[in-house]
Amino acid sequence: MEINPEEESKEILRRYRGLLRAANNSKSKEDRKKIRKAFDLALDLHSEQRRKSGEPYIYHPISVAKVVAGELGLDTTSIVCALLHDTVEDTNLTLEKVEDLFGEKERDIVDGLTKMSDVFEPGTSAQAENFRKMLLTLSSDVRVILIKLADRLDNMRTLAHMSPDKQQKIASETLYMYAPLAHRLGLHAIKSELEDLSLKYKEAEEYDLIQSRLRKTKAVRARFIRSFCAPIKRELDEAGIKYEIKGRPKSIFSIWSKMEKQKVSFEEVYDVFAVRIVINTERAKEKMEIWRAYSIVTDFYQPNPDRLRDWISLPKGNGYESLHTTVMSPTGKWVEIQIRSERMDEVAEKGFAAHWKYKEGKGEKAGGSQIDNWLGQIREILESGDGDALAFIDDFKMDLKTKDIYVFTPNGDMKTLPKGATTLDFAFLIHSRVGSECIGGKVNHKLVPLSYELKSGDQIEIITSRKQTPKEDWLGYVVTTNAKQKIRHSLKEVERSQALNGREIFSKWAKKNGLLLNEGNVESLFRKHKFDSAQEMYFRISIGMLELDKLKGFKILQGKFVWAKGPEPNTSKKTVVSEKFVPNAKEDTLLIGESLQKLDYTLANCCNPIAGDNVFGFITVSGGIKVHRKNCPNATNMLSRYAYRMMKARWSSMAATQFEVKIAFTGIDNVGLVNQLTTVISDNMKVNMKSISMESRDGIFEGSIKALVTNTSHLKDLITKLKNVSGVHSVERVDEEV
CB-based contact 82:147 (threshold 8 Å): yes
The three-class DSSP label of residue 84 is coil
Q: For residues 263-282, b (16+ Cβ closer than 10 Å) or e, as one string?
A: eeebeebebbbbbbbbbebe
Q: Which residues, in sequence order, are CB contacts of 68 under 8 Å at separation 6+? A: 74, 78, 79, 82, 146, 147, 150
Please tell me the distance from the alpha carbon of residue 664 to that of residue 694, in angstroms, as a whole number: 10
What pairs with residue 325 in β-bridges?
Answer: 337
User: 350: how many CB neighbours lie within 10 A of its CB?
Assistant: 23
User: 79: how many CB neighbours lie within 10 A of its CB?
Assistant: 27
Q: Which residues, in sequence order, are CB contacts of 410 under 8 Å at separation 6+? A: 459, 460, 461
Helices (H), 514-577: 519-528, 534-542
The three-class DSSP label of residue 309 is strand
State the DSSP H helix or E strand holding residue 557, giving kind and residue range, or none if neither.
strand 554-557
Measuring CA to CA, which residue among 158, 169, 245 is closest to residue 197? 158
Determine the residue type at 317. G
Left (φ > 0), alpha (ψ -120 to 50) or beta: where does 514 sit?
left
Catalytic residue among 8, 75, 89, 404: 89
Please tell me the distance from the alpha carbon of residue 559 to that of residue 616, in angstroms, as a whole number: 52
Please tell me the distance from the alpha carbon of residue 666 to that of residue 669, in angstroms, as a whole number: 9
Catalytic residue among 75, 90, 141, 380: 90
What pairs with residue 662 in β-bridges?
Answer: 706, 734
Please tell me the distance from the alpha carbon of residue 160 to that of residue 147, in angstroms, as a whole number: 22
* DSSP string of 230-273, one letter each residue: HHHHHHHHHTT--EEEEEEEPPHHHHHHHHHHHT--GGG-S-SE
The three-class DSSP label of residue 3 is coil
User: 244: how many CB neighbours lie within 10 A of its CB?
Assistant: 11
The three-class DSSP label of residue 665 is strand
Determine the residue type at 288. M
CB-based contact 453:419 (threshold 8 Å): no
CB-based contact 243:235 (threshold 8 Å): no
Please tell me the distance from the alpha carbon of residue 511 to that of residue 518, in angstroms, as a whole number: 12
User: Does 89 qualify as catalytic in the annotation?
Assistant: yes
What positions carry a catalytic annotation? 89-90
